[in-house]
Every structure is written in structure tokens, then in C-alpha cells.
Amino acid sequence: MSARDEILDRMRRALDGASEAPPVPREYRRALDPEVDVVAMLIDRLVDYKANVHHGVDSIPAALGAAARVAVPADLPEEWRLGDAVFTEDRGLTTEELDGMDAVLTGCAAAVAVSGTIMLDAGAAQGRRALTLVPDHHVVVVRREQIWGHLAEALPRLDPTAPQTWISGPSATSDIELQRVEGVHGPRRLDVVILGEDLS
């Protein structure tokens, strides 16, 4: 018997004869009021997290700033590849090559307004996790229809079998002596470009 099987067997024996688990209350909020402006709320949260917010596809060059070398997923839309930067498609770039890039430009799977969280699941225009975690500057494009008020609304839009990255502002930690350090677990600079009917 493997160690795994032994542990599971012990758990089964420990639960033998136990009463049924009580029902779990599910009255928590699953959506925001339809009157809430989720775009404005998302922007407010992003700015509070020290992310830079831009509007419309034409603002992508400004979001990229002085970045000369930009890594992108191979399936990134051509109309997002704007400006004078050299766009390098990630077709297996090494960690060293990614670290040498000035920025990365991707899309996302969903965004949650109430928490200011941008979610990636390695889907269309997002690339693999390393692509968005290694370069020091991440520019992410969020379409209006990808913005949801509440986490419970956004979760069904994600691929549950894919590796996910949830971003709430630039990477930062205060683990050591309560001193804030940026860029430890990912990009230290985050720019968000919001596209939509009234924004593009």
C-alpha cells in the first residue's frame, strides 16, 4: 500500500460512522447591484494599487512607455502591437530572454471590479505564466465585456484546468521587517489598458 493510499484509508476509517455534514449556507453576495459602474470601480481599485490605467487601443504605446523590446503571446492581436517597440512573440523564450525584455503585453481572461483583480488563465492573447511574471513591466489589455463586478461572476469565465495568475496591482511584499519591496514575485510596474464601447 502506498503512503497516499494509507493516508486515505486512515481518513475513511476516521470518518466511518460520522454524521452527515450540515448544509453550508450560500446566502453570500454573488453579484453587484446592476446600477454599479463596474468600470469606474475597477479603475478606482487599480489606481489605489498604484497601477496605471489607460483608455482605448491607441493608448497602448503610452502604456508601453520607453519599452523598446516587448514580449507578446504568439496569438496577440495585431491591432494591439502599436508603437515603435520590437514585439517578440513568445515561442519558448528562456527565462534569461524574458528577463531581458523591457515589457510584456498581454490580454486577460477576466477582471473583478470589487477587488481590482485581473485574472489570466493562459487563454487567448495571454500566454504562459512565465511570460507575465518575469519581465518587470506588464501591460495588460482588458476589454469592457471582461469586467465583472463580483468574483463569483468572474470565476465561471476561467478555465479551471489551466494555470491561473490573479493580479491585484504591481507585485509587492512587506514580508521582511514590514518594509514594502516591489517586484519580488512579478512585475513591479503594471499598466492596464481598458477597451470598450465607450473607451476604444
**Percent with pLDDT over 70 in the chain:** 90
For the CA atoms of 139, 143, 144, 150, the dihedral, rounded to the nearest 10 degrees, stands at -70
- Bridging pattern class, strands 137-143 and 103-106: parallel
Considering the chain, what is the average pLDDT of its residues?
A: 90
**Percent with pLDDT over 90 in the chain:** 73
Taking only the tens place, the pLDDT of each residue in 91-119 is 999 999 999 999 999 999 999 999 999 99
Indicate the DSSP class of residue 122: S
Taking only the tens place, the pLDDT of each residue in 146-168 is 999 999 999 999 999 999 999 98
Is residue 133 a part of any domain in this protein?
yes
Asked whether the beta carbons of 101 and 135 are under 8 A apart, the reply is: yes
The answer to whether the predicted template modeling score (pTM) of the entire model surpasses 0.85 is no
Is residue 128 a part of any domain in this protein?
yes
Residue 185 corresponds to which cell in the numbers above? 514575485
Q: Would you place residue 198 in the very low, low, confident or very high pLDDT band (cuts 50, 70, 90)? A: low
Is residue 189 a part of any domain in this protein?
yes
Average pLDDT over residues 182-196: 80
C-alpha span between 142 and 53 (Å, rounded) = 10
Look up the domain containing 105 and give its range: 32-195
Is residue 15 a part of any domain in this protein?
no
- Quick one: pLDDT at residue 29? 79
Is residue 97 a part of any domain in this protein?
yes
Decide which of 86 and 173 is more confident. 86
- Quick one: pLDDT at residue 21? 84
Domain count, the chain: 1
Is the pLDDT at 174 greater than 80? The verdict is: no
Is residue 23 a part of any domain in this protein?
no
C-alpha span between 116 and 21 (Å, rounded) = 35
Taking only the tens place, the pLDDT of each residue in 57-66 is 999 999 999 9
- Beta-strand (E) ranges in 45-184? 52-55, 69-73, 86-90, 103-106, 110-112, 117-120, 137-143, 147-148, 165-167, 172-173, 181-182
Asked whether the beta carbons of 102 and 70 are under 8 A apart, the reply is: yes
For the CA atoms of 140, 146, 149, 151, the dihedral, rounded to the nearest 10 degrees, stands at -80
Is residue 10 a part of any domain in this protein?
no
Which amino acid belongs to residue 53? V
Taking only the tens place, the pLDDT of each residue in 42-54 is 999 999 988 999 9
Taking only the tens place, the pLDDT of each residue in 14-32 is 988 888 889 988 887 788 8
- Quick one: pLDDT at residue 87? 98
Long-range contacts formed by 169-176: CB under 8 A, 24+ apart = 169/46, 169/48, 169/49, 169/50, 169/51, 169/116, 170/49, 170/50, 170/51
Closest CA to 76 of 139, 133, 148, 137: 139
Q: CATH no. for residue 64?
A: 3.40.50.10420
